[in-house]
Structure 1
Amino acid sequence: MAESFVFLGYQFYRQYRKIDPKKKERFKQKVRDITRRNQTVDLFTLIKEELNPVIRGWGNYFKYTNEIVSSKSVMDGFEEGFEWFNYEAGERSRNSIGC
């Protein structure tokens, strides 16, 4: 039975290279921290200046893996962060038309 080992965020197993699960969880936590609810910055600025560099950097670093990272697994981290925005946007639109 071959053993796997972790080196520089990659988990090596035989000839395969996967992303270490700890690194995936750390990435999701970083995205959650960036998209936390109690911010006063507008959404465009948040995505352009804070979130985009983090996602691009993580994606570029781990692009040499044999693992296919689905957009769902990456989106899990920041869907939670943006739920509040969708909810509040819906509330604002309903209140603005008087419903």
Structure 2
Amino acid sequence: DKSAVDRPWRRSFLGYSVSWHKRQVRLRVAPKSLKAFMTKLRPLLKRSRGQSLTTTIQKLNPVLRGWANYYRLTASKRPVAALDGWIRRRLRLILWQQWKRPRTRARCLMRLGLPAPRAWMGATNGRGPWWNSGASHMNTALPKRVFNGLSLVSLLDTMNRLPSQP
């Protein structure tokens, strides 16, 4: 399995794979590496850890910086952007779980700038935490700039900022 002969875009080497793009070969993150990284992040982003969001972000940042530094040579940014969004959604899920009651959720959403009717509709919709973490009321209340203010490392921004030569 490790020494198989196949097309380069079907194989991976050191976590990288290649893509065929307009007759030009580009490096990309191997799909298996993305899944492995998400599996590594899940314990850090568990909803029942009983920690504040800032503590979770502090524990998450070194892992994100290291991963972004290793995969800075990749040319395809779409999977990295999707992974970035997934991390922020998991953090929104942690907040939704910490707020627990509909009244607390509505109060916190209003504190974050949502109008009262929209906050109450979002807080009392009866949907699960994962659905609510991706819903528009949570995305409006907690956009990317809020997480940037909490000093969350953005994978895409870090990879764009780092030089692409090793």
TM normalised by structure 2 equals: 0.47
67, 83, 89: which one pairs with 1:73? Answer: 83
Q: Which amino acid aligns with 2:7?
A: E
Match for 1:59 among 68, 71, 74? 68
- Asked whether 1:6 is paired with 2:12, we answer yes
Structure ID, larger Rg? 2
Aligned counterparts of 1:33 and 1:81: Cα–Cα separation in 2: 12
Residues 10, 17 of structure 1: 8 Å contact kept: yes
Structure showing greater relative contact order (alpha-carbon pairs closer than 8 Å, 6 or more residues apart): 1
Structure 2 unaligned blocks of 5 or more: 1-5, 108-166
- Which stretches in structure 1 are left out of the alignment for 5+ residues? none
**Identity between Structure 1 and Structure 2 (%):** 25
Aligned CA distance change for structure 1 residues 41 and 87 (closer, same or farther; 3 Å): closer
Aligned to 1:26: 36
Aligned match for 2:98, one of 45, 67, 88: 88
Distance in 2 (alpha carbons) for counterparts of 1:60 and 1:78: 19
Structure 1 93/3 Cα, relative in aligned 2: closer, same or farther at 3 Å? Answer: closer
Q: Is 1:40 matched up with 2:40?
A: no
**Residues 23-61 of structure 1: per-residue CA shift (max 9 Å, x gap):** 11111222222010121222211111x100111111111
- SS state of the match for residue 58, structure 1? helix
> What is the RMSD of the two structures over their aligned residues, measured on CA atoms?
2.9
Query: TM-score, normalised on structure 1?
Result: 0.73
Runs of 4+ in structure 1 over 4 Å off: none
